[in-house]
Each structure stands twice: as structure tokens, then as C-alpha cells.
Amino acid sequence: MEITIRKARLADVPIIHALLAEAAKSSPVIPRSHVELYENIRNFFVGECDNTLVGCSALQIDWHDLAEVKSLAVQAAWRGKGIARALVLACVEEARAFDIDRVFALTGSPDLFVKYGFSRIEKSELPHKIWSECVRCPKFPDCDEEAVLLRTGRHVEATVPLPHLP
């Protein structure tokens, strides 16, 4: 089983849409409309195995030194196989390529991110601009997600290899 992480293509939008809709049923992932996905397709990565999309993530640049990992979803049958890790690290690597100093995520699974070098932070440490999507979250206004942050100049644990993008 070989997992490939690559930038998403327009043809991937229907599957990304389905992945996010399914994930939103059991976690605070915000579902995205087809229009929103087409408009933001350049932000997305997908995980692929045997020509089947099994996961997705996105890197949203918020400011010259700040970006967010968002829309992280992996099909239930494919969880625990390192796909989420590879998708998160693809986002981190892209942030580094853009010389972005800080990458954050709002997540119900902070331990997942901590394993990859992120640190827990108070949500109040993030700029207010990042809350623009919160009103679309099913848990709004009673958010139980935690904020995690990675400074991209910081060494990511050597046991977690960064994926090579085609």
C-alpha cells in the first residue's frame, strides 16, 4: 500500500466535498460547498492510494507570517495509516516554502498535531481574523476545539519524515 500526497486538482472537488461532508457528521470539520472548493482548490492536498482519494487537507494563508491547516479529513477505513500525518506535513512544508513563520490549527484532536511538533496555545493568541468561519461550525458558539501552533523554523521530529511532493 503506497500513499501519495499531491496537490488537489479540479477533478478532485466532488470527492473532497464528500470527504468533508462525511467528516462533518462526526467531528467539527466544516463542510465546504462545491463553489468554495473550486475557489480554493489551490489550497488543498489529497492523499491517494491505488487511484482512490482517501484524505484531504488545506493550507489557508491568513497573513504574511501565519497560515492554518484546515479541512483535514481521512476516510474512516484509512485512519491510522499515517495519511493525516502526511497531509499535515505537506501543509507545513508548503508553509515553509512560502516563508511563513507560524502554522496553526483549530482541532478537536490536538494530540495528533502535538506528535508532529505543534504546541498547544490559547485561542486568544491568534488574531481575530481567523474566527470568520466559526459561525459556520456546528459547535458555534460552544467551541471545544483547541488551538495548536508550529513555528516552521522549529525542527519537526526526525521520526516523522516530510512527504516529497511531485
- What are the tens digits of pLDDT across the range 20-33? 999 989 887 888 99
Q: In whole angstroms, give the CA distance from residue 58 to residue 106.
A: 13
Statement: residue 40 has pLDDT above 80 = yes
Domain boundaries, the chain: 3-151
Over pLDDT 90: what percentage of the chain? 63
pLDDT mean over 140-151? 80
* Cis bond before residue 161 (omega within 30° of 0): no
pLDDT of residue 155: 43
**What is the helix (H) or strand (E) element at residue 8, kind and residue range?**
none
Q: In whole angstroms, give the CA distance from residue 83 to residue 68.
A: 18
The mean pLDDT value of the chain amounts to 86
pLDDT of residue 27: 81
Q: How confident is the model at residue 113 (pLDDT cuts 50, 70, 90)?
A: very high
pTM listed for this prediction: 0.85
Statement: residue 86 has pLDDT above 70 = yes
Provide the pairing of β-strand 52-63 with 44-49: antiparallel
Residue 88 CB partners (closer than 8 Å, separation 6+): 57, 69, 72, 105, 112, 113, 116
**Of the ranges 104-113, 120-129, 152-161, which one carries the lowest mean pLDDT score?**
152-161
Statement: residue 11 has pLDDT above 90 = yes
Architecture of domain 3-151: 3-Layer(aba) Sandwich (3.40)
Q: In whole angstroms, give the CA distance from residue 24 to residue 10.
A: 22
Torsional class of 50: left (φ above 0), alpha (ψ -120 to 50), beta (otherwise): left
pLDDT of residue 165: 46
Statement: residue 83 has pLDDT above 80 = yes
Residue at 40: amino acid letter: N
The three grid cell numbers given for residue 102, joined into one nine-digit string: 507560524
Q: In whole angstroms, give the CA distance from residue 14 to residue 38.
A: 10
